[in-house]
Amino acid sequence: MIQEPETGGLQPFNFHKLDELIPEVKQLDARVDSISFKKPIDSSDVDQSHWEKLAKYIEENYDQYDGFVILHGSDTMAYTASALSFIFKNLSKPVILTGSQLPIGVVRTDGKENIITAIEIASDYEDDRPIVPEVAIYFEYQLHRGNRTYKLNAEHFDAFSSPNYPILAEAGVRIMYNREYIFRPSAEPFTIDTRLNNRIAILSLFPGISRHIVEAALTIPENELVIIRTYGSGNAMTARWFLDALENAIKRGLIIVNVSQCRGGGVLQGRYITSYELAKMGVVPAGDMILEAAVAKSMHLLGIGMRGSEFKSAFMQNLKGEITV
Q: Identify whether 320 is part of a domain.
A: no
pLDDT for 225: 98
Q: List, for residues 62-106, the tens digit of each pLDDT value.
A: 999 999 999 998 899 999 999 999 999 999 999 999 987 776 667
pLDDT for 157: 81
- Do 124 and 215 sit in the same domain of this protein? no
- Do 221 and 78 sit in the same domain of this protein? no
- Do 168 and 206 sit in the same domain of this protein? no
- Do 178 and 75 sit in the same domain of this protein? yes
Domain range for 241: 200-315
**CATH number, domain containing residue 70:** 3.40.50.1170
pLDDT for 248: 97
Q: Identify whether 322 is part of a domain.
A: no
Q: Identify whether 238 is part of a domain.
A: yes
Domain endpoint, select from 192, 222, 248 = 192
Q: Identify whether 257 is part of a domain.
A: yes
pLDDT for 36: 83
- Do 177 and 241 sit in the same domain of this protein? no
- Do 223 and 184 sit in the same domain of this protein? no
SS3 track for the chain: CEECCCCCCEECCCHHHHHHHCHHHHHCCCCCCCCCCCCCCCHHHCCHHHHHHHHHHHHHHHHHCCCEEEECCCCCHHHHHHHHHHHEECCCCCEEEECCCCCECCCCCCHHHHHHHHHHHHCCEECCEECCCCEEEEECCEEEEHHHCEECCCCCCCCEECCCCCCCEEECCCEEECHHHCCCCCCCCCEECCCCCCCEEEEECCCCCCHHHHHHHHCCCCCCEEEEEEECCCECCCCHHHHHHHHHHHHCCCEEEEEECCCCCCCCCCCCHHHHHHHHHCCEECCCCCHHHHHHHHHHHHHCCCCHHHHHHHHCCCCCCCCCC
Q: Identify whether 239 is part of a domain.
A: yes
Give, for all 325 residues of the chain, the pLDDT tens digit.
Answer: 666 666 666 666 666 666 667 777 777 888 888 888 888 888 899 999 999 999 999 999 999 999 999 999 889 999 999 999 999 999 999 999 998 777 666 767 776 888 989 999 999 999 999 999 999 999 989 999 999 999 998 888 888 999 999 999 999 999 999 999 999 988 899 999 999 999 999 999 999 999 999 999 999 999 999 999 999 999 999 999 999 999 999 999 999 999 999 999 999 998 888 899 999 999 999 999 999 999 999 999 999 999 999 999 999 999 999 999 7
- Do 185 and 210 sit in the same domain of this protein? no
Q: List, for residues 269-313, the tens digit of each pLDDT value.
A: 988 888 999 999 999 999 999 999 999 999 999 999 999 999 999
Q: Name the domain count of the chain.
A: 2
Predicted TM-score of the model (pTM): 0.93
- Do 165 and 37 sit in the same domain of this protein? yes
Domain endpoint, select from 131, 161, 192 = 192
Q: Identify whether 300 is part of a domain.
A: yes
**CATH number, domain containing residue 235:** 3.40.50.40
- Do 153 and 250 sit in the same domain of this protein? no
Q: Identify whether 321 is part of a domain.
A: no
- Do 143 and 181 sit in the same domain of this protein? yes
- Do 276 and 163 sit in the same domain of this protein? no
- Do 123 and 168 sit in the same domain of this protein? yes
Q: Identify whether 36 is part of a domain.
A: yes
Domain endpoint, select from 192, 212, 241 = 192
